[in-house]
Amino acid sequence: MLSLVPEIYQMKKSIRSSRKDLDRLRLNLFQKQIRNIYENVPFYREVFKKLHIAPEDFQKIHDLRKLPIIMKEDIRNNREKFFNEKMNSEKCFHSFSSGSTGQPFSSYFDKRCWVRKKYLSKLRARFSCGIHLGDRVAIFESEPAENLKRLNGFHPLRDLLLYIQYFSIFDDIDALLKRLIEFKPQNAYGPQSFFFYFAREVQKNKQTLSFLKRIYTSSEYGQRHAAQFIRDILQVEIYDIYGSTEFKEVSWECEQHQGYHINEDEVICEILNGNIPAAPGEVGEIVLTDLRNHAMPLIRYRIHDRGKILQENCPCGRTFSLMLPVAGRASEYIRLPDGEKISPFRFTTAIEKFSGLLQYQFIQESRADIVIKVIIDEKTSAKTFTNIEQMIKNITKGQMRVTVRKTDRILPEENGKFKVVKNMIQEPALA
Ligand SMILES: [Zn+2]
């Protein structure tokens, strides 16, 4: 633990260091990682040999492009080749995800990297965005309550820095509210769709939770209107976080909400269109490289999320560059009867222009049927429905039957995650 002290100091410093210092640190970490994969990871040793390259050929970060892009499937079929042969996987920490395509995947981390990603990096971002030492934090997990008992019994940081309690989003909402009022957390952490549902219940019960000041949302594409509703009802500040099981937190919103600061001393974030870099500000596929994980280093890993890099510096003065994740996993595209695929981003940007809309979900029910479930406020006129219908008809080029359906609750998936766009047609080609 003591050996982490300089690391914590450096982490804190990096966030506001000069661009030059941060770039120097990144290049250093990058070259160290390149040497690691060349010396210890069989898959990369073969790649270097096949491409006739050596670690010395990686003098700048963009030399990364010399390496191939990999995906979950490449690793799943060949796991031991992606693992550091000098490390023992049984001594590593690992994370398991069922994945959006339902195919399970495990990522392994060496101890040092795990502590950084699982705790230090998250704490750094939270402490720089509102959380104070000794605060109470309610974490809402997409896990049944029985699974959380162990976590509620022990936490390495419990009572040391923060008071943390875990809650299940599947629990009865009245019981949850009661427990929350007893705990009085200043901070809550969980999926946006849960807090939206939660805020609706608070509104119905005419309750006030004045102790709650900040909500940190993650693991879903955030909806603008839903976020505004949560802010208005619960009177909180909302900070969204972008991350994944394989990399943990990748980027996070600061108090300026101008984009998401990339943890640049943890990952390299590329935005690609096909295999070439997207133009600055252009939306493309997010491809990540881990600078810290030496056990199972993911290099140029296509995460199947989309986003863009923002060119502007954040007014908050933090050095880490800004990015913006956007809706649109490959499996969530809408496919027109003529075969054309339409990005979810097209639908979400169009629908977010309508006021009075609190939450929505697009469901492609069959080749020619699309249903839009909407939760609206009382002031919304019937004309909004016709306008949404017309807008979707235009985007789908008149090829689909469009139904806009008012509802009171849009349920998350079984894993607790909310899908903005849901494709019910099982087509392998969609990926
Ligand atoms: Zn900022």
Residues 75 and 52: their CA atoms lie apart, in Å, by 22
Neighbours of 421 (CB within 10 A): 24
Contact 413, 352 (CB under 8 A): no
User: pLDDT digits over 386-422, tens only?
Assistant: 889 999 999 999 999 999 999 988 888 877 778 888 8
- Give the whole-number percent of the chain exceeding pLDDT 90: 59
User: pLDDT digits over 344-360, tens only?
Assistant: 878 888 888 888 888 89
Does residue 80 surpass a pLDDT of 60?
yes
Residue 143: predicted pLDDT: 82
- 130-243 maps to CATH 3.40.50.980: yes
User: pLDDT digits over 104-155, tens only?
Assistant: 688 999 999 999 999 899 999 999 888 998 999 999 988 888 888 888 876 6
Contact 374, 368 (CB under 8 A): no
1 CA distance to ligand 1 centroid (A)? 30
Residues 346 and 328: their CA atoms lie apart, in Å, by 9
258 CA distance to ligand 1 centroid (A)? 7
28 CA distance to ligand 1 centroid (A)? 25
Q: What single-letter amino acid sits at 199?
A: A
427 CA distance to ligand 1 centroid (A)? 40
Does residue 100 surpass a pLDDT of 60?
no
Categorize the per-residue pLDDT at 68 as very low, low, confident or very high, splitting at 50, 70 and 90.
very high
Residue 61: predicted pLDDT: 97
Does residue 85 surpass a pLDDT of 80?
yes
Q: Where are the domains of the chain?
A: 2-116+254-326, 130-243, 330-430
354 CA distance to ligand 1 centroid (A)? 28
Comparing CA positions, the residue from 214, 223, 165, 171 lying closest to residue 192 is 223
Residues 248 and 2: their CA atoms lie apart, in Å, by 23
Q: Is 130-243 in the same CATH topology as 2-116+254-326?
A: yes
254 CA distance to ligand 1 centroid (A)? 5
320 CA distance to ligand 1 centroid (A)? 8
121 CA distance to ligand 1 centroid (A)? 16
> Taking the mean position of all CA atoms in its chain, how far away is CA 205?
31
How would you list the strands of the sheet with 369-376, edge to edge? 401-406, 369-376, 357-366, 421-423
241 CA distance to ligand 1 centroid (A)? 13
**How far are the Cα atoms of 179, 198, 280 from residue 175, in angstroms, in the given order?**
6, 12, 48
Categorize the per-residue pLDDT at 270 as very low, low, confident or very high, splitting at 50, 70 and 90.
very high
309 CA distance to ligand 1 centroid (A)? 14
**What is the pLDDT of the chain when averaged over all its residues?**
89
Does residue 429 surpass a pLDDT of 50?
no
Contact 345, 221 (CB under 8 A): no
Kindly provide the b/e burial profile for residues 343-373, where b requires at least 16 CB atoms within 10 angstroms of the residue's own CB: bbbbbbeebeebeebbbbbbbbeeeeebbbb
Span of 39-43, 318-322, 404-408 with lowest mean pLDDT? 404-408
332 CA distance to ligand 1 centroid (A)? 30
> Taking the mean position of all CA atoms in its chain, how far away is CA 286?
11
Fold for the domain defined by 330-430: GMP Synthetase; Chain A, domain 3 (3.30.300)
Categorize the per-residue pLDDT at 431 as very low, low, confident or very high, splitting at 50, 70 and 90.
very low
Does residue 33 surpass a pLDDT of 80?
yes
431 CA distance to ligand 1 centroid (A)? 34
pTM: 0.87
> Using alpha carbons only, what angle is made at residue 242 by residues 286 and 305, rounded to the nearest 5 degrees?
30
Class (C level, CATH) for 2-116+254-326: alpha beta
268-291 mean pLDDT:
93
Residue 341: predicted pLDDT: 85
135 CA distance to ligand 1 centroid (A)? 22
272 CA distance to ligand 1 centroid (A)? 24
Categorize the per-residue pLDDT at 157 as very low, low, confident or very high, splitting at 50, 70 and 90.
low
3 state DSSP class of 166: strand
What backbone phi and psi angles, to 5 degrees, belong to 365?
-85, -30
User: pLDDT digits over 216-263, tens only?
Assistant: 998 777 788 899 999 999 999 999 999 988 999 999 999 999 999 999
Q: What single-letter amino acid sits at 79?
A: R
159-179 mean pLDDT:
89
> Using alpha carbons only, what angle is made at residue 21 by residues 18 and 25, rounded to the nearest 5 degrees?
140
Half-sphere exposure of 95 (CA within 13 A, CB side): 19
Residue 393: predicted pLDDT: 93
260 CA distance to ligand 1 centroid (A)? 8
252 CA distance to ligand 1 centroid (A)? 9
316 CA distance to ligand 1 centroid (A)? 4
356 CA distance to ligand 1 centroid (A)? 29
Residue 430: predicted pLDDT: 41
Residue 158: predicted pLDDT: 65
343 CA distance to ligand 1 centroid (A)? 28
